[in-house]
Structure 1
Amino acid sequence: MCLNALILAAGQGRRLWPYTSECPKCLLTLGTHSILEHQLVRLSAAGIDQVTVVAGFGLDAMRHEVGRLHLDGMSVQVVYNPFFAVADNLISLWAARAEMGDDFLVLNGDNVFHPDIPHFLLGPAPPPVASSCNARTATVLTT
């Protein structure tokens, strides 16, 4: 089972200015918690015990938020992407390449998801489904 996650959160989020002028997108709050906290709580509940957050813009704020959060059994580290202002997620993946030795989940730092999603992704693969529709007879075959 995959027990590692990588959160790509280095960008500045300019499309959300002025909200992100001094705060990374993943540190914006939904209710009373940051997006990052929502993500980490849901990943922890699914059994993820090692998370790497790739940060760039707002690095100190990101480190502060990670240090503030205490999730039992979960280790969270922050890796710096020094090229965040001129590069995209590929370079963030490169910055965290040392953490990608085993299976892992990749999330964008601004993704908000239902609490069941990590459980679903880590669970057994559903059986394959194939559907075929015959327009002449109006029948659908699903296997």
Structure 2
Amino acid sequence: MTSFELPAGYRVSTDPDRLDRAAVHRWLSEESYWALGRPREKQERAIDNSLNFGLYEEGSGAQVGYARVVTDRVTFAWLCDVFVAPEARGRGLGTALAAAVRDELAGLGLRRVMLATRDAHEVYARVGFEPMAESGKWMVLGQQ
């Protein structure tokens, strides 16, 4: 599988105490298509119950990206809420963040890591995600 290095000057951390929770909430509730209007309290609970990945500028320490993984850390993971701040886009940070998540999860021996995207298929394909071969067997409760 292809490895993607973060561009110079950026780091990924899974330390939840380092997250800029206000920025994450603003990005997702105001700028994403999948979480528009998500209440802050729900976002806080989502962060607290997930494996979180923050993407930071090394010099300033400012957070410029986020990804969240819902997982039992044994068999399954769901990658969601992947977001790169508009001012930081176009530098390969989304692909590098997805690769960092993939690499972190690789050591867990998960059977499956899933995600859903409306418009970023190529980003995830670069790090190994592919369309489901048998999507007809999957079902969902609570479609939007």
Instruction: Between the two structures, name the one with larger relative contact order (CA 8 Å, sep ≥ 6).
Output: 1
TM-score by length of 2: 0.33
Rg larger for: 1
TM-score by length of 1: 0.33
